Amino acid sequence: MSEQILIFDTTLRDGEQCPGASMNTREKLEVARQLARLRVDIIEAGFPIASDGDFEAVKAIASEIRGPRIAGLARCIDKDIDRAASAVKPASDRARIHVFLATSAIHREFKLKMAQSEIIKRTVESVKRALSYCKDVEFSPEDASRTEPEFLAEVTHAAIEAGAKTINIPDTVGYAAPHQFGALIKYLFEHVPNIKKAVISVHCHNDLGLAVANSLAAVQNGARQVECTINGIGERAGNASLEEIVMALKTRKDAFGGYGTNVDTRQIYPTSRLVSHLTGMVVQRNKAIVGDNAFAHEAGIHQHGVIAKRETYEIMRAEDVGRSSELTWGKHMGHHAVSRKLEEMGYKLSEEEIRRITEQVKALADKKKQVYDEDVRALVEGQFTEVPQVWKLDYLSVMTGTIPTASVRLIRTGKREPISDAGTGDGPIDAMLKTIDRITGVKGNLVDYSVGSVTRGKDAVGEVSVRVQFGKEKGSGGKIVTGRGSSTDIIEASALAYLNALNRQLFEQRRRAEAEKPTL
């Protein structure tokens, strides 16, 4: 443990706060299962007081996930702490309550309107209240990097004396520079007498692109827990990227005192793909570790060097982060072979899900010459975004030209006969979506549309992600819902993504209506 850096994953809390990255409870559970396979030490499952949905998701994760500690976030407010305690209670001795209170001068004056003495008093009371529910309490002085070092040391000392086992030092607005942030951690170790009674953690934001650098500087100066997210997603410019932190420590042990993590790095790429798919947050091609170009070599000099000796231009092996290009899939694969291969890829699915994937692999193999791992990942991840299908695509035909036209046939659950319609639009996608709107009677406004190739080749599977605004015309505030779809036909993938968003919207409407029914 003395040589281990604890990885505190906050993808499901801070990461999900990224605009457009919200997930439902089932999707959060799938991410939590994958984080457990990744072997992170702590999963911050959410902010239970934020909403009933957040509370239920944290409670479900605390009930099901084994291995990592499960944390719930709470302000230093009694009702927040009580709510968080109730949500993480099913995790038993692996439950953690993470309380926070701003400490910087700007927050004290303009947000909290509290004196330093009041901040310390509230901190102590909140840590003790959280301890009455569970033994593992973490305290964060929000905006620590802009807090006076003397006062930060005082608050840290008080929180540890009150019983906090972890003190997290956040660079909340991404303001710090690495040498300054490292010096701040060093200052705390030199000026907080009881600091060795707690684990010092850091939580860095990426507003200046320094989140990973700041986190690693903190490790060099005594921090032993890093809070981070998959793909670096999060508020504004995001958080420190988990994959970059982990692989920097693994690849450059010489630079970081030999410290490593408990993470199974072979699960990094599958986790990145899953989070990208479920949130609709596309990973940039040149993103370190998990981007499409991370292990690609275009220049002839580089290619020659890698062929002669890989280490000339590669400091990591693609296999070490779970990347592979093996061609092992085909239409003759049986159920058991598919099951075993999926398990090797890090997926644990039900028998029914494996049966569906097997049929989909065979159907895909009939459409294209070679089926890659990435094609199958797209199929598997499609299972995680499924909701009860009120509307299902039965037939689609589009014509481009001077007047783009779309013919669509949909099946509605519970109805025997499909419903058909045709229409025109500014382009084939527009014509198709307008026709779907007429058939379903639900008007959606396409806010964002992105398409990417899952694998290489002319017959590659295309993956479409859409963000659709529903209900604005009815005065409901225009809820934005994310939808995803994949197919070798990009027009079909677009229809599937739009219908996925529509079905999610209808499912959430029904769920809310049932929750609001009076109980007798």
Residue 92 has a pLDDT of 97
Please list the residues that pair with 41 across neighbouring strands: none
More confident call, 335 vs 458: 335
The pLDDT tens digits of the residues spanning 266-321 come to 999 999 999 998 888 889 989 999 998 887 644 444 444 545 666 666 788 888 99
Query: What average pLDDT does range 95-122 have in this prediction?
Result: 97
The pLDDT tens digits of the residues spanning 40-50 come to 999 999 999 99
Predicted confidence (pLDDT) at residue 324 exceeds the cutoff of 80: no
Please list the residues that pair with 8 across neighbouring strands: 42, 227
The pLDDT tens digits of the residues spanning 355-376 come to 888 888 888 888 776 777 777 8
Which three-class secondary structure state does DSSP give residue 492?
helix
Query: Which of 374, 352, 278, 386 is CA-nearest to residue 32?
Result: 278
- Pair type for strands 42-46 and 6-9: parallel
Query: Could you give phi then psi for residue 100, rounded to 5 degrees?
Result: -140, 150
Predicted confidence (pLDDT) at residue 519 exceeds the cutoff of 60: no
The pLDDT tens digits of the residues spanning 4-19 come to 999 999 999 999 888 7
Residue 280 has a pLDDT of 84
More confident call, 2 vs 291: 291
Task: Judge whether 48 and 42 are in contact, CB under 8 Å.
Answer: no
What is the Rg, in whole angstroms, of the alpha carbon atoms belonging to the chain?
25
Residue 311 has a pLDDT of 66
The pLDDT tens digits of the residues spanning 392-425 come to 999 999 998 899 999 999 999 988 899 999 999 9
What's the CA angle centered on 11, arms 10 and 16, to 5 degrees?
115
Percent of the chain with pLDDT over 70: 91
**CB-based contacts of 344-349 (< 8 A; 24+ apart in sequence):** 345/270, 345/373, 345/376, 345/377, 345/380, 346/34, 346/37, 346/266, 346/267, 346/270, 346/322, 347/270, 347/380, 348/33, 348/37, 349/380, 349/383
The three-state (H, E, C) secondary structure of 495-519, written as one string: HHHHHHHHHHHHHHHHHHHHHCCCC
The three-state (H, E, C) secondary structure of 87-131, written as one string: HHHHHHHHEEEEEEEECCHHHHHHHHCCCHHHHHHHHHHHHHHHH
Residue 411 has a pLDDT of 94
Which residue, chain included where needed, has tokens 């040149």?
286
Query: What average pLDDT does range 327-339 have in this prediction?
Result: 75
Query: Which of 236, 248, 265, 153 is CA-nearest to residue 198?
Result: 153
Query: Could you give phi then psi for residue 179, rounded to 5 degrees?
Result: -65, -35
Which residue, chain included where needed, has tokens 């919200």?
22
Task: Judge whether 386 and 499 are in contact, CB under 8 Å.
Answer: no
Residue 118 has a pLDDT of 97
Tokens of 452: 């990417």
d(CA 279, CA 381): 11
Mean per-residue pLDDT of the chain? 89
Query: What average pLDDT does range 207-226 have in this prediction?
Result: 98
Query: What average pLDDT does range 159-170 have in this prediction?
Result: 98
Predicted confidence (pLDDT) at residue 448 exceeds the cutoff of 70: yes
Is 302 exposed, middle or buried (CB count within 10 Å of its CB: 0-12, 13-18, 19+)?
A: middle
Strands (E), 193-263: 199-204, 225-228
d(CA 19, CA 104): 26
